[in-house]
Amino acid sequence: MRPILALLAAVFLAPLPVLAQTRVGEVSTTFRVIGPNDKVVVERYDDPRIPNVSCYVSRADTGGLSGWVGLAEDPSRFSLACRATGPVTLPAGVPDSESVFRQSTSPLFKALTVTRILDREKNVLVYLIVSTKLVDGSPFNSVTAVPIDAPVLR
């Protein structure tokens, strides 16, 4: 009996997933009799190290009773678009590749991760989003790019 109580306590008292900086909007996609509807949500993340770059992620959000209590696993379906919202320059010390956002999409082991990759040759920041859960041997992913205004020093 005690191991079951410990497991339940761990599930319900676990830290909440990191939320997007801003939820821009949502659209209901499937009606649920009990609990919230399934929906597609759009969230904005501002790059924490590169001023004037915002990334917009659209992703599926599972509703129903399991979604309402936080036990649902969201599908690995998403899209990514990053845009310059002002002049884009690189601060000193920015690595060529760095994970910039991470959001849990299930109570265990599944998350969306956005990685920033510097393409020095084309003077562009590439943003790649992947799901940590492998599906049919390959993670779902999406990519976008933002031009840098000032030339990148080599």
Best CA proximity match to 132, nearest among 105, 110, 100: 110
Q: Which residues lie below 8 Å from residue 104, measured CB to CB, with a gap of 6+?
A: 17, 18, 110, 111
Q: Which residues lie below 8 Å from residue 27, measured CB to CB, with a gap of 6+?
A: 39, 40
> What tens digit of pLDDT does each residue of 6-52 get?
333 333 333 333 344 799 999 888 777 777 778 888 999 999 999 99
The pTM is what? 0.72
> What tens digit of pLDDT does each residue of 84-96 get?
999 999 999 999 9
Q: Which residue has the tokens 């004037």?
A: 52
- Sheet architecture: strand order including 124-131: 97-104, 111-119, 124-131, 141-147
